Amino acid sequence: MTAAPDFDTTAAKLRQQLADHLTAGGRLRSPGWRTAVEAVPRHEFVSRFYRETDAPGLTTWTPVTPELVGTEEWLRQAYADDTLITQFDGQEIDWDDPKPISNAHPTSSSTLPSLVVRMLEELQVHDGMNVMEIGTGTGYSTALMCHRLGAARITSIETDHDVAGRARAALSRCGFASRLVVGDGLAGHAEGAPYDRTIATCGVRHVPYAWVQQARPGGLILTTLRGWMRSLGLIRLTVGHDGRAEGRFLTEDPSFMIARQQDAPDSLGTIPAPDEGTARETPHGPGLLTGSGSGFLAQLAMPGARFFSLPGSNGTAHTYVLDSANGGAFAVLTPTEGGGWSVRQGGRSRVRLWDEYEAALALWGEAGFPAPTDFGVTVAPEQQSVWLGSPGGPSWRLPA
Ligand SMILES: C[S@@+](CC[C@H](N)C(=O)[O-])C[C@H]1O[C@@H](n2cnc3c(N)ncnc32)[C@H](O)[C@@H]1O
């Protein structure tokens, strides 16, 4: 990027303001990360991007480049505490004629800085540590780590060739020669192991066991776990000497874009015929699927499911919960005339989705409706589970 003296001064001032904002919000806490935020030019990593438009209705993203909005405005937006989208649907953007985009699925971005630094603080790094990052994206978070620990300590993996190419160029412009690997980060990168810290900025359905194998005993793995219905939250696992890793959820959010290799199949599954399955009444309606704690339990109890609502023949909404992988297991929820709910369940497997969910809700209720931060995760070579309270407590298998 060509840099006039006043451009550099403005950019430095914007970085300072961003650092002040992140500190005031309690996200930026340690001097090492503050110095990195003040030093790393985010604008080098987001020379062109899309930003979500604040309008009701369909989510729409608007292109932002120096040519479209002017250099000053582009620079201001590059330092906003906002997620800046740089790719949709795994396709490169036509920057010769960028148009507003809707009905698309963001697949790469520079994550909002408050979340980036919050995760970096949670990573608990110390000088001399080796870090593996999964999901380089624009390379901005990689650059912050290079600044804090030295580029030679950082291995970053990006699955998308074009995205990785842009990150490599931006990192190089900033003088950071970290190891940037193009490939599936779910396999880690054995050549750079052992790692003291592993951080993923894409969500995963389970923790890839390679990350545990490539960690130093006592090392930490920080990642968001998610399913196809929602995010479970951010977990920090400590790797033991016994090949296991264990830790608790730190927060219920954030929700990162899922690792591409674990994305949901395009098809939601087959809608069951009206006479399929067995019906009964249930006290639990579909509203629970989107509740804070109850939604978390839904994701745990029905790890392969997704849901949607459709009007039935008499106009009442039916909510379909479908698990296409699990023998086409289904639960269909319909309001009853008495103001309650009926559920019709079936599928080729023995799994009955709503029974599983109600059992999880019952355990949760008996425990006093604990928050997601009262849950933890154990990763072992043979299986992975989320438990309530302590590793011996009630548990749910992750779809490993
Ligand atoms: C939210 S963006 C990363 C943000 C980035 N750390 C930053 O601060 O700019 C998530 C990235 O993860 C990448 N990704 C998805 N699945 C991956 C995988 N299996 N291995 C490596 N990268 C992956 C996506 O292509 C995307 O660029």
pLDDT of residue 252: 76
Dist CA 318 CA 246 (whole Å): 39
Verify that 170 and 31 share a domain, yes or no.
Answer: yes
Q: Is the CB of 345 under 6 A from ligand 1?
A: no
Q: Is the CB of 185 under 6 A from ligand 1?
A: yes
85 inside domain: no
251 inside domain: yes
- Mean pLDDT across the stretch 78-107? 94
- Mean pLDDT across the stretch 235-252? 95
71 inside domain: no
pLDDT of residue 5: 66
Verify that 327 and 252 share a domain, yes or no.
Answer: no
Verify that 124 and 32 share a domain, yes or no.
Answer: yes
Dist CA 155 CA 331 (whole Å): 44
99 inside domain: no
Verify that 40 and 172 share a domain, yes or no.
Answer: yes
Q: What are phi and psi of 291, to 5 degrees?
A: -70, 160
pLDDT of residue 54: 77
**Residue 267: pLDDT band with limits 50, 70, 90:** confident
DSSP-assigned letter for residue 162: H
Q: Which domain holds residue 334?
A: 278-365
Given a cut of 90, whether residue 400 has pLDDT beyond it is no
**Residue 9: pLDDT band with limits 50, 70, 90:** very high
Q: Which residues contact 235 (CB under 8 A, 6 or more apart)?
A: 207, 221, 222, 223, 224, 225, 247, 248, 249, 250, 376, 377
Q: Is the CB of 259 under 6 A from ligand 1?
A: yes
Q: How far is CA 327 from CA 265, 287, 322, 362, in A?
A: 14, 25, 10, 25
Verify that 144 and 287 share a domain, yes or no.
Answer: no
Task: Indicate the top mutation candidate among 115, 117, 158 to test ligand 1's pocket, ranked by most ligand atoms within 8 A of CB.
Answer: 158
Given a cut of 90, whether residue 174 has pLDDT beyond it is yes
**Residue 1: pLDDT band with limits 50, 70, 90:** low
DSSP secondary structure string for all residues of 352-375: -HHHHHHHHHHHHHHTT---GGGE
Please count the structural domains in the chain.
3
Verify that 31 and 13 share a domain, yes or no.
Answer: yes
For residue 251, give the CATH number of its domain.
3.40.50.150
Q: 22 vs 314, which has greater pLDDT?
A: 22
pLDDT of residue 57: 78
Q: Is the CB of 294 under 6 A from ligand 1?
A: no
User: Exposure of 77 by Cβ count < 10 A (0-12 exposed, 13-18 middle, 19+ buried)?
Assistant: middle
Identified catalytic residue from 30, 47, 102, 108: 108
Q: Is the CB of 134 under 6 A from ligand 1?
A: yes
pLDDT of residue 371: 95
- Mean pLDDT across the stretch 284-298? 94
**Residue 253: pLDDT band with limits 50, 70, 90:** confident
pLDDT of residue 56: 76
pLDDT of residue 4: 62
Q: Is the CB of 119 under 6 A from ligand 1?
A: no
Q: 255 vs 139, which has greater pLDDT?
A: 139
Rounded percentage of the chain residues whose pLDDT exceeds 90: 87
Dist CA 292 CA 340 (whole Å): 21
Verify that 318 and 189 share a domain, yes or no.
Answer: no
- Mean pLDDT across the stretch 131-146? 98
108 Cα: distance to centroid of ligand 1 (angstroms):
6
Given a cut of 60, whether residue 131 has pLDDT beyond it is yes
Verify that 254 and 291 share a domain, yes or no.
Answer: no
Verify that 56 and 198 share a domain, yes or no.
Answer: yes
Nearest CA, atom 16, ligand 1: 259
Verify that 16 and 157 share a domain, yes or no.
Answer: yes
Verify that 200 and 317 share a domain, yes or no.
Answer: no
Q: Is the pTM for the entire model greater than 0.85?
A: yes
User: Exposure of 283 by Cβ count < 10 A (0-12 exposed, 13-18 middle, 19+ buried)?
Assistant: exposed
Given a cut of 60, whether residue 3 has pLDDT beyond it is no
289 inside domain: yes
Dist CA 333 CA 287 (whole Å): 10
- Mean pLDDT across the stretch 58-73? 95
321: closest CA among 334, 304, 305, 336? 305
Active site residue 255: no
Verify that 359 and 378 share a domain, yes or no.
Answer: no
Dist CA 324 CA 277 (whole Å): 15
330 inside domain: yes
- Residue ending a domain, choose from 260, 295, 313: 260
392 Cα: distance to centroid of ligand 1 (angstroms):
34
136 inside domain: yes
**Residue 255: pLDDT band with limits 50, 70, 90:** confident
pLDDT of residue 251: 87
pLDDT of residue 316: 85
117 Cα: distance to centroid of ligand 1 (angstroms):
16
- Residue ending a domain, choose from 234, 260, 286: 260
102 inside domain: no
Given a cut of 90, whether residue 383 has pLDDT beyond it is yes
Edge-to-edge strand ranges of the sheet holding 329-335: 278-282, 341-346, 329-335, 317-323, 306-311
Amino acid making up residue 333: L
Task: Decide if 171 contacts 184 (C-beta within 8 A).
Answer: no
- Residue ending a domain, choose from 206, 234, 260: 260
pLDDT of residue 254: 73
Q: Is the CB of 85 under 6 A from ligand 1?
A: no
Nearest CA, atom 15, ligand 1: 259
CB atoms within 10 A of CB 258: 19
**Residue 329: pLDDT band with limits 50, 70, 90:** very high
Q: Where is average pLDDT lowest: 51-55, 99-103, 134-138, 242-246?
A: 51-55
Task: Indicate the top mutation candidate among 199, 202, 205, 223 to test ligand 1's pocket, ranked by most ligand atoms within 8 A of CB.
Answer: 202
Given a cut of 70, whether residue 2 has pLDDT beyond it is no
